[in-house]
Amino acid sequence: MSDGLRLMAVHAHPDDESSKGAATTARYAAEGHDVLVVSCTGGERGDVLNPRLQGDPEIERDLPEVRRREMAAAQAILGVQHTWLGFVDSGLPEGDPLPPLPAGCFALEPLEVTTEALVRVIREFRPHVMTTYDENGGYPHPDHIMCHNVSVAAFRAAGDPSAYPHAGEPWQPLKLYYDRGFSRAKFTAFHEALIAKGLESPYAEWLENWGDRPEGRITTRVPCSDYFGKREQALLAHATQVDPDGNFFRISKEMQATVWPTEDFDLALSYVPLADAEDDLFAGLGSQQESDALATTGARRLVVDDVREREVA
């Protein structure tokens, strides 16, 4: 792994950065890389999911401010930088038929507006690698799907001097990954490990309800079990969003380290070839100087580009 490289993780809401890829970002930050988490929205329409905090008058009075404080605490635990993209949480529509999304929310913003906002952040931070969600959003929350759309569009536009010329000097990130933290194989392994130890597994129902949801491709497995504790602490820092007695914490970090010691990703767009058995998001980039040169030159060619094919399919 090369020193001095920069990683940007683009997420929909505060708390997503702690439940998806958090041990990876903590590891790279601890190893001296610059890591920036981008929260597209403030999570303003989130529910209080921790039963111990439901009905708390301070939280009910100003949930957005509480979530900002939670995000600051998680950021400090992970050791990363953080910025807000500034859009408004869309909420998760429920019912049959589904109600319309609220006016002015992130999911309804024109794509060129959200893309320019993220391009501006990319050109300022100058990441070599980005991570986000796949075309299904990881799960079909409208903000997660918009997060995917804006991340792909901004990745493609940031290095183009004719695109958003007022948003800073062109800078082309070299790799874009989709997070694959939630996979059937992983939760099957957790379930079987708990049963083998004679422990109750909370994952049986998850697996029964998995249905025919496609299993996302994994190209890259990042060893990061030394940072599972940081991941757990960061997730708990989002106290309104996480039940400390919930399923996230039913398998110990020590057992996770034995059963599944990596966080997993899918390389979706890249200007460098995919390495065999890739175990590093910076694989193939070389030195910071070499990567900077490639990110600023116009003589680039995507060698991994399967986003369009998967979205059409």
Residues comprising the binding site for Zn(2+)? 13, 16, 144
Write out the H or E segment, with its range, that includes residue 154.
helix 142-157
Residues listed for the chain: 313
Among all chains, which residue has been given the structure tokens 């408004």?
Answer: 88
Tell me if 47 sits within 8 A of 90, measured CB to CB: no
Annotated binding site: 13, 16, 144
Tell me if 300 sits within 8 A of 175, measured CB to CB: no
Q: Measured between alpha carbons, how far is 68 from 284 in angstroms, rounded to an integer?
A: 36
Q: Measured between alpha carbons, how far is 7 from 24 in angstroms, rounded to an integer?
A: 10
β strands within 156-287, DSSP E: 175-179, 220-223, 262-270
Phi first, then psi, for residue 225 (nearest 5°) are -65, -25
Q: Which of 19, 12, 37, 8 is nearest to 231 (CA)?
A: 19
Across 29-66, b (16+ Cβ under 10 Å) vs e yields: bbeebbbbbbbbbbbebbebebeebeeeeebeeebeeb
Phi first, then psi, for residue 215 (nearest 5°) are -85, 120
Q: Which two tokens stand for residue 308?
A: 């369009």
